[in-house]
Every structure is written in structure tokens, then in C-alpha cells.
Amino acid sequence: MSAKSSQKIAMAFIWGSGVITVLILFLIIGYVLARGVPALGWDFLFTAPKGGLSGEGGISTAIVSTIYIVILTIAMLIVPGIGAAIYLSEYAKDNWLTRIIRYGVDTLAGVPSIVFGLFGFVLFVTALHFSFSLLAGALTMVCLLLPTLIRTSEEAIKAVPRSHREGALALGATKWQAIWRVVLPSALPGIVTGIILCIGRIVGETACLYVTIGGSAAMPTSLLSGGRTLSLHLFYLSMETNAFEKAMATAAVLIITILIINTIINWISYRFQARMRGGA
């Protein structure tokens, strides 16, 4: 085969793989929206699931559970996540301690979510007697998401120019004042992006919540009541009932949420880059 014809075949393959990737995306989103959106409505969003084989009712309690889990998890995640990022980017020296910490972050990031689920099940559900509850689920999610927030925040903090720190230190600020008043505010858009990314992961997560929050369809009343997030509700609907229309409508809500989250992230990073380019 001549160099020219192999070039043609190869380019066809390369473009083809791009087209297939986009088609997969459109197929998933298009199919879910086409089948799910017609079943959406205020009724569906604001009535509680009634159970049964046909999955009567809506998803109101699942929405509330999801919001609770998101708020709880993010509230407990922010301090250790950003604190660790500050340590790694501002304090860490190149020594054994830093290597151990990095190994911990990198390895934790790869642990499968069902293994986090097992851990949460033994520690939070059983040993600490939280039983199947929002609290147990959120604590497990904190462990799962720690590496994600650390990595995104660390990147954001490292992107802050050295001159910012030096300026603050030259004015007599302590190291911590420079970090707290100068570096963190500059890195804020990147850190917020990381937090929103984590919210997306919480909304989409199932395996580790499946074994820690119990799956009750009732409205959660306290931190110790069980619940089911939207993703979990979708799983129960499609495995335990034949309510595929309801499952599809739930999937549509999830897809729309994810699309909104992606748009916000892109908007923030676009604004952030524009500001950095503007010489701020």
C-alpha cells in the first residue's frame, strides 16, 4: 500500500472514531431526553414515589434526598479538601512525608466506589451506629471525593502567580495571611469549579450510596433517616419494577442536571481564563 492511500485510510479511521464518540453521546442524551422528557411535569417532580411494580408517583423525596446528600457532603468535604490542597501546594517539601501523602491521594482516587461502600457500611452504618442514613452516606461520599477536590484545588492554587505571594510577604504579611487573603481569593474560581465537579459526582454516584443510605423512599426527616438519591431511585425503578417510563424520566432529570453543571463549569473556567489573560 502506498503512503498516500494508507494516509487516507488512517485519516478516515481517525475521523470515524471522533464521529462515533460524538454519536455515542448524542445517542445516550437524545434517547434519554426523547423518552424521558414527555413524562416530566410538575406532578412528577413534586409528588412522592408511591412504590409498587409500576413505580407510581414522582420523585420529590428523591430530589430532597439528593439535595441533602449534596449539602452534607460538600459541607464536610470543603475544609479537609482545600486544607490538603493548601498543604500540598504551599507547605509540602520534597520528602518522605509528602510522598506518602501523595501516594494516599493518588491511590484513594482509584479505589472503586463499591469498596468505599463496604468501608462506609462497616464503619459508619455498623460500628458507629448511624444505621442506613443520609449521614452515613454523606460521610462515605466525603472519603470518595476527597482526592477529586484536593487535585482540582491544588491545581487552582498552583496557578496563582508567585508574585502575588511575594507581594503579600513583602508587605509584612505572615505566610498564612498571604495564603488566606491573597492566594485563596485568586484561586477561588478554580476551587469553586472543583466543588461543582464534586456535586456532579455526588448526583451521579450509586454504588457507594446503595450500601450506605438504605434506599427508603420516604421523605428524610433527620440526618439519621434513610433515603434514596435520584440515581439510586433510577436503579431501584429499573431493577425492581417495570416502570421504565418513570426510570427514563428520572434519567432525563439527571442528564439535564449534569448538562447544567457542565455549563456552569465551562462558564467559570472561561471567565477565569479571560481574567488571567487580562493580566490580573
Q: Binding to other proteins (CB under 8 A): which residues in 67-126? A: 79-84, 86-88, 90-92, 100-101, 103-108, 110-119, 121-123
Provide, rounded to whole angstroms, the least separation between the CB of residue 253 and other proteins. 10
Q: Kindly identify the residues of this chain, within the stretch 237-276, that bind other proteins according to CB under 8 A.
A: 238-239, 244, 247-248, 251, 254-255, 258-259, 261-262, 266
Rounded CA separation 215/202 (Å)? 15
State the nearest-atom distance from the C-beta of 197 to other proteins, in Å. 9
Euclidean distance between CA atoms 94 and 265, whole angstroms: 32
**Least distance between other proteins and beta carbon 90 (Å):** 8
Q: Least distance to other proteins from the beta carbon of 250, Å?
A: 9
Q: Which is nearer to other proteins, 25 or 45 (CB)?
A: 25
Distances (CA, A) of 183 to 154, 161, 216, 265: 11, 9, 44, 21
Widest pairwise Cα distance in the chain = 71
Q: In what helix (H) or strand (E) does residue 276 lie, and over which residues does it extend?
A: helix 244-277
As measured in angstroms, the least distance from the Cβ of 158 to other proteins is: 15
Sites for other proteins among residues 147-166 (CB under 8 A): 147, 150
Residue 128 to residues 121, 123, 131, 135: CA-CA distances in angstroms?
10, 6, 8, 11
Among 61, 210, 243, 249, binds other proteins (CB under 8 A): 210
Least Å distance, CB 77 to other proteins, is: 10
Cα separations (Å) of 100 from 89, 105, 146, 155, 273?
Answer: 15, 9, 16, 19, 33
Which C-beta is closer to other proteins: that of 87 or that of 280?
Answer: 87
Q: Report the residue number, 84 or 195, with the smaller CB distance to other proteins.
A: 84
CA distance 88 to 147: 12
Question: CA angle, corner 81, sides to 76 and 85, nearest 5?
Answer: 160
Report the C-alpha gap between 174 and 183 in whole angstroms: 12
Site string for other proteins, 24-43 (x = CB under 8 A): xx-xxx-xx-----------
Buried/exposed code over 225-241 (b: 16+ C-beta within 10 A; e: otherwise): bbbbbbbbbbbbbbeeb
Q: How far is the CB of 163 from other proteins (least distance, A)?
A: 21
Name the residue nearer to other proteins (CB basis): 181 or 280: 181
Q: Using CB under 8 A, which of the segments 3-11, 53-61, 158-166, 220-228 binds other proteins?
A: 3-11
Residue from 39, 60, 204, 256 binding other proteins (CB under 8 A): 204
Which of residues 257 and 280 has its CB atom nearest to other proteins in the complex?
257
Considering the complex, state which of residue 68 and residue 124 has its C-beta at the smaller distance from other proteins.
Answer: 124
Terminal C-alpha separation, the chain? 55
Task: Quote the least distance from Cβ 57 to other proteins, whole Å.
Answer: 19
